[in-house]
């Protein structure tokens, strides 16, 4: 009798069919995994630029010396279009930020406090913009034993997920440091190398978290020693920022100096003579806070392409 499909003699055929079906399933699984069906996409973030990346200098009206290097890669949060890179322009399309949310973290020492208080006033009208102020008086980069900025920034980045960090400090950094028991005197080549390393640490923590950086340079000071030291520190900040993608250096020196470059305690603000600095010749008065924060708001808008306008715009309308 001839064997049927289900007779013992036909088991070779069934085995062949089952083997063929198993092969099809295996091959199908490989193809699906290759095209990523059902899997989350993987993104690679590039945060640091090689030293050979050219520096882009951005000149903005009234902002001589501003230096920025747009990122060529890295994280750009979809909910906040804040970026140093020039945005794509589409004819007839208008950017609408109303449903989005951007977070700016402002940090620094007591000078940072002055700037932060001013920014809180100037940016108070933007519901989509979250300003987080985390300044610490008497802090700096050379006294990490008192307040470690790299450690605290890492915590703040994890907690607030900012799109931009504004850094304004240095008033307490004109002091010697001790490295491995050896004192490095402020201003010496070794000290400058150490301080540059500290600045680089801050920038690396920020860029490693995908946060863009605005480093605000120190203003001219009334005490000669402080002013000379501030100029030196500014050169070190600029040296790091100019080689960092996704970072901008914004100077304030000329903003608070006379035409000859001298310290300017008083100036016409919105047409009225006003006190800009406090009696110590270092910190800002309330009007000075409004002036520097108005300037920084304009630079955030110009450099990072956000439609911002200071709520209490305070502009120096002349110099002595």
* Residue 95 pLDDT class (50, 70, 90 cuts): low
Digit-coded pLDDT (tens) for 248-276: 999 999 999 999 999 999 999 999 999 99
Tell me if 236 sits within 8 A of 255, measured CB to CB.
Answer: no
Of 251, 244, 199, whose CA–CA distance to 55 is shortest?
244
What is d(CA 112, CA 52) in angstroms, rounded to the nearest whole number? Answer: 32
Of 216, 220, 218, 219, whose CA–CA distance to 248 is shortest?
216
Q: Given CA atoms 12, 13, 18, 23 in this order, what sign does their dihedral have?
A: positive
What is d(CA 222, CA 281) in angstroms, rounded to the nearest whole number? Answer: 5
pLDDT at 81: 86
Helices 286-304 and 110-122: crossing angle in degrees, nearest 10, is 70
pLDDT at 54: 30
What is d(CA 121, CA 118) in angstroms, rounded to the nearest whole number? Answer: 5
Domain boundaries, the chain: 67-304
Tell me if 147 sits within 8 A of 207, measured CB to CB.
Answer: no
Mean pLDDT score of the chain, rounded to an integer? 81
Q: How many CB atoms lie within 10 A of CB 187?
A: 14
Q: Give the three-state DSSP class for 263.
A: strand
pLDDT of 83 above 80: yes
Contacts 24+ apart (CB under 8 A), 11-18: none
Listed in sequence order, the residues at least 6 apart from 294 whose beta carbon sits closer than 8 Å to its beta carbon are 118, 122, 310, 312, 313, 314, 315
* Residue 90 pLDDT class (50, 70, 90 cuts): low
What is d(CA 223, CA 221) in angstroms, rounded to the nearest whole number? Answer: 6
CATH of 67-304, one of 3.20.10.10, 3.20.20.70, 3.40.50.1110, 3.30.420.300: 3.40.50.1110
HSE-CB at 249 with a 13 A cutoff on CA atoms is 24
Mean pLDDT of 68-81: 66
Mean pLDDT of 178-193: 96
The two structure tokens encoding residue 56: 């882009």
Give the least confident one: 55-64, 176-185, 203-212, 217-226.
Answer: 55-64
Burial 24-58 (b: 16+ CB within 10 A, else e): eeeeeeeeeeeeeeeeeeeeeeebbbeeeeeeeee
* Residue 33 pLDDT class (50, 70, 90 cuts): very low
DSSP class of residue 46 equals: -
The two structure tokens encoding residue 269: 């603000």
Listed in sequence order, the residues at least 6 apart from 6 whose beta carbon sits closer than 8 Å to its beta carbon are none
């Amino acid at each position: 009798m001839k064997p049927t499909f289900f007779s013992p003699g036909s088991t070779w055929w069934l085995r062949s069919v089952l083997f063929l079906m198993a092969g099809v399933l295996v091959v199908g699984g490989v193809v699906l995994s290759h095209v990523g069906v059902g899997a989350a996409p993987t993104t690679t973030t590039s945060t640091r630029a090689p030293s050979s990346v050219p520096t882009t200098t951005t000149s903005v009206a009234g902002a001589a010396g501003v230096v920025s290097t747009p990122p060529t890669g890295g994280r750009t949060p979809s909910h906040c279009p804040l970026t140093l890179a020039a945005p794509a322009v589409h004819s007839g399309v208008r950017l609408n930020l109303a449903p989005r949310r951007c977070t700016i973290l402002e940090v620094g020492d007591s000078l940072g406090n002055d700037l932060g208080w001013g920014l809180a006033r100037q940016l108070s009208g933007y519901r989509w913009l979250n300003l987080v102020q985390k300044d610490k008086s008497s802090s700096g980069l050379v006294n990490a034993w008192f307040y470690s900025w790299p450690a605290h920034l890492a915590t703040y980045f994890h907690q607030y997920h900012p799109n931009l960090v504004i850094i304004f400090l240095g008033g307490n950094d004109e002091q010697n440091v001790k490295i491995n028991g050896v004192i490095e005197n402020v201003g010496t080549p070794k000290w400058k190398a150490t301080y540059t390393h500290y600045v680089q640490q801050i920038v690396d923590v920020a860029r490693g978290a995908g946060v863009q950086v605005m480093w605000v340079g120190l203003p001219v000071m009334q005490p000669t020693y402080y002013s000379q030291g501030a100029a030196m520190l500014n050169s070190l900040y600029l040296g790091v920022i100019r080689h960092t993608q996704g970072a901008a250096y914004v100077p304030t020196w000329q903003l608070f100096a006379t035409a000859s470059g001298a310290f300017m305690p008083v100036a016409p603000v919105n047409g009225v003579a006003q006190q800009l600095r406090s009696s110590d010749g270092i910190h800002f008065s309330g009007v000075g806070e409004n002036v520097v924060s108005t300037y920084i708001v304009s630079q955030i808008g110009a450099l990072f392409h956000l439609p911002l306008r200071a709520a209490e715009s305070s502009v120096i309308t002349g110099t002595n």
